Structure 1
Amino acid sequence: MAYFDRLGEDTFRPTGHVSGAWDESTQHIGPALGLLVHVLESDCASRREDPMVVSRLSYELLGVVPMDVVDVRVEVVRPGRTIELVEATYGHGDRTGIRLRAWLQQPRDTAEIAGEGFDPIPRPDEMAPWDPTTIWRGGYLASAQVRRESTGPGRSRYWVRTDVPLLADEEVSTLARMTGLFDIANGMAVRADPTRVHFPNIDLTAHLVRPPQGEWTGFDTRVTFGPGGLGLTSSVIHDHRGPLGTVAQSLTVRPR
């Protein structure tokens, strides 16, 4: 069973693997982030013959989405020959739950000057398996395979993969599949007991320096809570070749 079944050109039905960690009657937005990338990439391929790559994904999480049929829409906000800005939305009924704005760029050969400023992390086989359902509810977290090394509250390095396809009977890119795991970061380096403190994120922004490869997505994550109800989950993301970008999530921190 996949995360989503396609019902039409722009409509999808979530399966039980999408149920949320805070409330199982609503969707975990993780898989939706990957679905929006797939829809965006499909739209780009239908409009252009030249290749484009994603350099930024910026999601605004506008409200919870029930475990029900959703609609997606894509619009080119800023067309261009080498750079374009595309918006995609994810909604239920007349309500938009997620808005994505993505920058796409035409790739160039910069291999001779390539370099990175991030530290590597241990490989998946160098970390112990960890079961996220010891802390979290919901089908989404139960679908994840995790190898984790935690060094204290709000600080973890880990790798995540899943055997669950993003879409039933439909090929998706490695980027779309991996993006469906980006939002898991907020639950992998827990700073406070989620039964005592709620800390959902209200956005997610990923910056990428190259397309990802492989099965596993690696994270080097730090979680910070400020004194006035604001928080931040900040991660460097990796694939088997090394660091490939960053993911940041703004948190609303709410002691119960």
Structure 2
Amino acid sequence: MAYFDRLDETTFSPTGLVSGGWDPGEQHIAPALGLLAHAVETERGNGLQLARLSYDILGTLPIEPVRVHVEVLRPGRTIELVQATLSHSGRPAVLLRAWLLRAYDTVDLAGSSFPTVPGPDDMPVWDPDGTWSGEFVRSVEARRCQEEPGRAMSWVRTSVPLVGDEPVSATARALGLIDIANGLTPRRPTDQVAFPNVDLTVHLVGPPRSDWLGFDTTVTFGPTGLGLTHTVLHDTHGPLGVVSQSLTVRPRPS
């Protein structure tokens, strides 16, 4: 079973594996973000690579069919800006603006000063099912080394296809997982506070080269209901990019 099945050129049906952590009757937004990236790559097909993706999450999604629309805002042979919209019953639910850049051979220039993280074989297994509900978290394999609540290094992978019966790039598959960053190391128990993210922005320095996706994550809650989850992404070869998520932090009634 995949996270989504294609119904026609622009319509996709989610499966039960997308059910979310805050409400199992709603979609976890992670697979939907990967679906939008896949739609951009499929629609454009021009050899450009995803570099920055900025998602705005406009509302929750029931586990029902969604429609994807892609348009080019700034065409180009080496640089292009694309917008994609994921809608449910005619209502936009997620907006994506993505910069796509031409690939060049920069192997001899490659390098980073981001700190490395221990590999997945060097971290203990973590079961997110003890913290989160929904089938999406049960569909992933996770490792975690937590320094304290709100600060952890983790590895995540899944064997579940993003879209059934069609090829999906390693980048789109990874983008279907990265929203999980906000749930990898909660600062406070979820029965005390809700902290859903309203956006997600990722900057990439290359496509993933391993099934494991690494997260070096720090969660910050401010004093007025604002929060931030910031993550340095890795694959097993090194740093892959950075992800930031804006949070609405809401204390639950005691």
| Coarse TM-score class (shorter-chain normalised) | over 0.9
What's the TM-score, normalizing by structure 2? Answer: 0.98
2:227 aligned with 1:231: yes
Match of 1:219 in 2: 215
Match of 2:139 in 1: 143
Out of 79, 82, 87, the position equivalent to 2:83 is 87
Give 5+ residue unaligned stretches, structure 2: none
Match of 1:8 in 2: 8
Match of 1:181 in 2: 177
Give 1:111 shift: 2.5
Out of 60, 64, 72, the position equivalent to 1:68 is 64
Question: Which consecutive segments of 4 or more residues in structure 1 shift more than 4 A?
Answer: none
Match of 2:239 in 1: 243
CA offset digits 1:144-164 (Å, max 9, x no partner) = 100110010100101000111
CA RMSD, Structure 1 to Structure 2 (Å): 0.8
Give the secondary structure class of the aligned counterpart of 1:20. coil
Distance 1:43 1:164 in 2: 23
Give the secondary structure class of the aligned counterpart of 1:23. coil
Distance 2:65 2:213 in 1: 28
* Aligned AA (2:133): R
2:74 aligned with 1:78: yes
Distance 2:107 2:166 in 1: 32
State the identity %.
Answer: 57
Give 1:59 shift: 0.2
2:32 aligned with 1:36: no
Distance 2:208 2:137 in 1: 22
Give 1:110 shift: 2.2
Distance 1:67 1:112 in 2: 46
Give 5+ residue unaligned stretches, structure 1: none
Distance 1:117 1:102 in 2: 25
Give 1:251 shift: 0.2
* Aligned AA (1:37): A
* Aligned AA (2:3): Y
Aligned residues: 252
Distance 1:196 1:67 in 2: 26
Distance 1:114 1:166 in 2: 29
* Aligned AA (2:4): F
Give 1:114 shift: 2.1
Match of 1:193 in 2: 189
Distance 1:195 1:176 in 2: 32
Distance 1:35 1:160 in 2: 18
Distance 1:42 1:94 in 2: 22
Distance 2:6 2:50 in 1: 24
Match of 2:111 in 1: 115
* Aligned AA (1:242): G
